[in-house]
Amino acid sequence: MDGAVPMPLAFAFAGDRAEGRRFCVSAPGTGGAQHFLFTMPFDFDTHIHTPLCGHALGEPDSIIEAADERGLRMITFTCHIPMPDDAFGGRGIRMRRDELPVYRRFVDEAKRLGTPRGIEVRYGIEAEIFPEEGVMAQMDEILKAEPFDFVLGSLHHQLPAYHTWLRERGLETDAEVVRHYFKHLESGVRSGRYDSVAHPDLIRLYGTIAGPFDPADYEETIRAALRAAAESGTCWEINTSGKFKGQGPHIHPLPEIFAWAVEEGVSFTLGSDTHAPEMLTQGFDDARRLLEINGVASIRTFLRREAEERPVATAAPESTQ
């Protein structure tokens, strides 16, 4: 939260859902408690992982508890979809296909715990974008069989499968890699598989290219991917985890790319990419500012693969005595 508020803090819900989640923050310590009133910018988070992916923490009870503390009224779990072999990351990256029933039970338990707290829990998945239809056909079997509310599409360029694909085609320079990355996002959204593209400029992280890239050098290619998203009705995700990965101050996507997305008519989803309960809503104030600067009035969420429009609330802190 913005503002110099002493610690420790005690949080208590103090507002009407229709006006956005509002919290009275009591900061004990100096001559009695001071109270600050915050309007939370969003009451939903649609990118949340579970321990089944092998690199996340948090059981249903701790996730629901953290969601309630942060004023969330809807959360969507999006664990990594099972893939055919370890080239897409084995244990420590994603669940096995025979663990899908465990994942469903995890989400169902979170639903059970969330209902009395007024928190809706939805069943999503983080699927892969990959440039080989044979591999995608195997993934499609899961997408067709499971009753997902929300499907994210991610091109995890850092995985061995994508590195192998690039190497076999002699694509070695940063310019070649960046252009193909965004071309694959374009073909991904045209496939109709996904509701939204997760962390869409992930190529700037994790070392597949030598260093930061200037979006202006790839504007034509990036805009082609954005136009495809707008034409297909596929969203791009505002993924706030980009700010917390130690390689730059920006959430996903970069401000220049986000502005182009708005110009091209793309709609957006929002997720923290949570891998531990305390990460829920991380960076959401940054997301709100990005949306406000670019005049975006609503964000989409998904239920049973159908889009819902949610207004962007203004988060201006007020103080009370």
Q: What is the CATH number of the domain that holds 114?
A: 3.20.20.140
Q: Provide the b/e sequence for 168-179 (b: ≥16 CB within 10 Å).
A: eeeeeeeeebbb
Q: What percent of the chain has pLDDT over 90?
A: 80
Q: What is the mean pLDDT of residues 130-155?
A: 97
- The total domain count for the chain is 2
Residues 18 and 159 in one domain: no
Residues 123 and 239 in one domain: yes
Residues 187 and 122 in one domain: yes
Instruction: Band the pLDDT of 194: cuts 50, 70, 90.
Output: very high
Residues 12 and 100 in one domain: no
Q: How far apart are CA 23 and CA 26, in angstroms?
A: 9
How many residues make up the chain in this entry? Answer: 321
Residues 303 and 268 in one domain: yes
Q: How far apart are CA 6 and CA 172, in angstroms?
A: 51
- Say if residues 46 and 271 touch (Cβ distance below 8 Å): yes
Residues 157 and 31 in one domain: no
Q: Give, as one character, the DSSP assignment of residue 312.
A: P
Residues 121 and 72 in one domain: yes
pLDDT for position 212 = 87
CA end-to-end distance (rounded Å), the chain:
19
Residues 29 and 115 in one domain: no
Structure tokens at 151: 């499907």
Least confident span in 58-72, 79-93, 137-151: 79-93
Residues 3 and 152 in one domain: no
In a domain, 319, yes or no: no
Predicted TM-score of the model (pTM): 0.86
In a domain, 321, yes or no: no
Residues 218 and 277 in one domain: yes
Q: For helices 219-232 and 255-263, give the axis angle rounded to 10 degrees.
A: 50
Residues 138 and 27 in one domain: no
Q: How far apart are CA 286 and CA 292, in angstroms?
A: 10
- Nearest of 77, 142, 82, 139 to residue 106 by alpha carbon: 77
Instruction: Band the pLDDT of 211: cuts 50, 70, 90.
Output: confident
pLDDT for position 34 = 36
Q: Give the residue numbers spanning the domain of 285.
A: 42-314
Residues 30 and 67 in one domain: no
